[in-house]
Amino acid sequence: MQYSNGTEEVLKVFRDLEVALNCVDRIYAQEGYPMHLAYRVRPTCTV
């Protein structure tokens, strides 16, 4: 989740991109599209 001030918070980690995108779609379907934050899907950093 990314807030309007630029801070970020990890809600959940997925191994499958499609599952992650479906999760975000469900959140938006239930909660609507808020103006003060965004749900983002991106690859994890591997070290």
Name the pTM for this structure.
0.67
**Amino acid at site 29:** A
Task: Read off the pLDDT band of 46 (50, 70, 90).
Answer: low
Q: What average pLDDT does the chain have? A: 85
Say yes or no to pLDDT of 8 above 80: yes
Tokens of 41: 């899907």
Task: Read off the pLDDT band of 47 (50, 70, 90).
Answer: low
Question: CA 34, CA 11: separation in Å to the nearest integer?
Answer: 16
Task: Read off the pLDDT band of 29 (50, 70, 90).
Answer: very high
- pLDDT for the residue numbered 22: 92
Cβ atoms 39, 24 nearer than 8 A: yes
Question: CA 19, CA 34: separation in Å to the nearest integer?
Answer: 22
